[in-house]
Structure 1
Amino acid sequence: MIIFDKRILTHFDFIQPFLILPIIFLSHILISEVSQMLAIKQYVYFGIGFMVFLFFFLLPIRKIDWLIPATYWLNIILLISVEFFGVSKLGAQRWIEIPFVHFTIQPSEIIKPSFLLMLGYIIKKNPPEEDGYNLKEFIKISFFIFLPFFLILKEPDLGTALILLLTGYGVLFIIGVNKKIWLSIALVLGISSPILYQSLHDYQKKRITDFISEEPSYHVKQSIIAIGNGGMSGKPKDEATQTHFKFLPIATSDFIFAYNGERFGFIGNLFLISMYFLLISHLLSLNHKLKDDFLARVITNGIAIMMFIYISVNISMTIGFAPVVGIPLPFFSYGGSSFITFMCFFGILQNLLAFRFDKEYRLLKINI
């Protein structure tokens, strides 16, 4: 008799969808109020995201982990190709157009899952000693972090480059690196910060200048007004004037946190932040369960750190505590790239959790 292997459900982490689905549902409510067309497109992203999740959930990752380096280097080749065959949009060359179909892909988004998988693969093959990685091993792993960082930075895309850099070293911090190495890095960064600032592009310097100036930019002003307009419990749809009259820019993506504040007030924003906090805390708590499973630990911590960076920067940006950059809220801001990327992340994570008892990836078992 062939039956479904119930161990898959036993090891499947149901807490993750329990915390993610309310964020997606709330996002869809807000986006449908602004534009029915965007809401319909969001259904398409939901469908693609679910298929991507299902693909990576069923993919025998542990069984074919020897392919991870190949996918990493393929993505590096795509990043290099941007320099020669890339398509420019809004002054940045970040996309590659697929011939004949006129569809573009953004290699800096595609590389994120393979980047974390590559780190997990390297750390799994060479786990840290009790006092953490020494300088030699740290430099070896740093090469795989800095290579995509510099290629993406050259596009230029400082935001995505920094996300990969911080995520990579955040994972290493949790996994374990000798403390002397971190102290040395902090000292070097402190001394070289003026040189790093001078190397920034003019538009990047302007963002920093706007941030530290006494008068916030127009976008931030309207965002703060929208949040203040929501008060404690928010305004009805017709009274959400900042969004209704289009004073609030990019209300469905970059500044959707401000729109959520205008519609559902302090309580709505507190609910959203609480969902994110619980999700990140839950992911970090898995370190105890996955103590010796370095591949799963790297993916788990990488997702948690990346989400924390996205959320912190986006929310800080909307209230004037950070420069305005195009970093979305995971599962909340409108857009396909971010949503599909995080569905890919969680598909990989659930795969590593659900099938950790069976490297053959058998969904069914036969009882005779």
Structure 2
Amino acid sequence: MIRLDRRILTHFDFVQPILILPIIILSYILVSEANSILSNKQLIYFSIGLLAFTFFFLLPIRRLEWLIPAFYWLCIALLISVDLFGVTKLGAKRWLEIPFVHFTIQPSEIMKPSFLLMMAYLVKHRPPGINGYGLKDFLRLSIYIILPAFLIMKEPDLGTALILIIMGYAILFIIGVNKKIWLSIAAGIVILAPLIYENLHDYQKKRINDFLSEESSYHVRQSIVAIGSGGLTGKSKDEATQTHFKFLPIATSDFIFSYTIERFGFLGAFTLMMFYGFLITHLLSLNYGLKDDYFTQVVTTGIGILIFIYVSVNIMMTIGFAPVVGIPLPFYSYGGSSFVTFLSLFGILQNLLTFRFDPTYRFVKIKF
């Protein structure tokens, strides 16, 4: 007979599913109202995401820690393969096609958990000193941050590349780096900003110009109309005309936040933002109880920062405060890649938290 070890319930973080499940449920309601076909597909993504969460939750990550560098470099090889054999969609080469089954994968999505685990591995095996990391260690860690970001930027996918860069250096900022290094980086960014802009792709420059121009782009204008029409409490399903008459583009994905306000008003959007805010705060607060467990600290911090970036950029994009980029709301926007990626990350985090006092991973007892 196989019986679950009750000690798992002691260390499992139940706050995370309590905060995430309402976001998923509200998302499904909105997607179902907008498109029943997409809602059926979303159920499939939910199932795959749950399987991914379960797999990583039960995987003895600390015992298999030595495989993390190999996983990281495998993802680097996949990113290089995209440049050589990748499939082009909508003008970007970001996918690899699996032979014979005609199924595509996006290596940049696989890179996110790999990147986070690699950062945790590196910090654990060479933790910062009293004054934080010095220049030598900072440059060594920067190689692991910049390399995947550079390969993803070439696809081109500037949004994902910037997310990796921001997440990587935000982790180092929280873990600890000498202050003089940060001042030097800030000065370098200011000096090199014009050069960086000149090397962007034309469509990326257009997004920036649209953002800086007095007149917003069509997508943003329709988004603002949807937001303004929602009022305090929103509209009924049949009166949400911006979405159901297709004026609001990509209403179930990139601009689902605008759809939320049109449907449930300011109060609905505020409630959604509260769930995200509590989740991010909870994740970052876990660091206080982890102390010298640098591996779990990096994973916890990285996921919290990643959610903050996604939520902030997506919401600012819908109200015209940021360029329009394809960054979804975690657990909320329609789509499989982002959903499965985030559930995989939370599976890894729950594994590290639940089994941190049980390195042998005896999570089941077997009796005959």
TM-score (norm 1): 0.98
Counterpart of 1:80? 80
**Residue in 1 aligned with 2:339?**
339
1:5 alignment counterpart: 5
In 1: Cα distance, 2:141 partner to 2:363 partner? 35
Aligned-partner Cα distance in 2 for 1:188–1:43: 46
Give the share of equivalent positions with the same residue, in percent.
Answer: 69
Give the aligned residue type for 1:188: G
Partners of 1:84 and 1:366 in 2: how far apart? Answer: 49
Instruction: State the Cα deviation string for residues 253-292 of structure 1 (Å, max 9, x = none).
Output: 0000000000000000000000000000000000101111
Deviating above 2 A after TM superposition, structure 1's stretches of 4 or more consecutive aligned residues are 1-4, 364-367
Partner deviation per Cα, 1:204-231 (whole Å, 9 max, x = no partner): 0000000011111110011001011110
1:223 and 1:2 map into 2 onto residues whose CA distance is 52
Q: Does 1:28 align with 2:34?
A: no
Question: Counterpart of 2:104 in 1: which secondary structure?
Answer: strand
The residue identity in structure 1 corresponding to 2:258 is: A
In the alignment, which residue of structure 1 is the partner of 2:279? 279
> Which residue matches 1:130?
130
- Aligned partner of 1:154: which letter? K
Q: Which amino acid letter does the alignment assign opposite residue 60 of structure 2? A: P
1:353 equivalenced with 2:353 (yes/no)? yes
* Within-5 A mapping of 1:126-205: 126-205=126-205
Q: Partners in 1 of 2:241 and 2:82 — Cα distance?
A: 41
Question: 1:280-313 CA distances to partner (integer Å, 9 max, x unpaired)?
Answer: 0000000101111111111101001111111011
- 1:86 maps to amino acid: G
Secondary structure in 2 aligned to 1:97?
strand
SS at match of 2:286: helix
Task: Compute the TM-score of the two structures, normalised by the length of structure 2.
Answer: 0.98
How far apart are 1:4 and its partner, in Å?
3.0
Partner of 1:298: 298
Between Structure 1 and Structure 2, how many residues are aligned?
Answer: 368
User: Equivalent residue of 1:104, what SS?
Assistant: strand
Confirm or deny that 1:267 pairs with 2:281.
Answer: no
Structure 2 unmatched runs, 5+: none
Unpaired stretches in structure 1, ≥5 consecutive residues: none
Name the counterpart of 2:211: 211
Distance 1:24 1:3 in 2: 30
AA at the equivalent of 1:320 = G
CA distance, structure 2, for counterparts of residue 230 and residue 3 of structure 1: 50
CA offset digits 1:23-80 (Å, max 9, x no partner): 0000000000011111111110010000000000000000110000000000000000
| Cα distance between partner residues in 1 of 2:59 and 2:366 | 21
- One-letter code aligned to 1:96: L
Q: Secondary structure at the match of 2:207?
A: helix
Deviation at 1:366, TM superposition (A): 7.2
Counterpart residue number, 2:64: 64
Q: Separation in 2 of the partners of 1:239 and 1:315?
A: 23
One-letter code aligned to 1:326: G
In 2: Cα distance, 1:326 partner to 1:183 partner: 31
Q: Does 1:233 align with 2:230?
A: no
Which amino acid in the other structure matches residue 194 of structure 2?
Answer: P
- Report SS of the residue matched to 1:49: helix
**Cα 1:3/1:96, change in 2 over 3 Å:** closer
Q: Which amino acid aligns with 1:333?
A: S
Which residue pairs with 1:95 in the alignment?
Answer: 95
Alignment partner, residue 326 of structure 1 = 326
The Cα of 1:3 is off from its aligned counterpart by 4.8
Inter-partner Cα distance in structure 2 for 1:222 and 1:355: 48
Matched AA of 1:258: S
Q: Secondary structure at the match of 1:95?
A: strand
State the AA in 2 paired with 1:318: T
Structure 2 residue 119 is matched with structure 1 residue 108? no
Q: Displacement of 1:365 after TM fit?
A: 4.2
Structure-2 residue corresponding to 1:310: 310
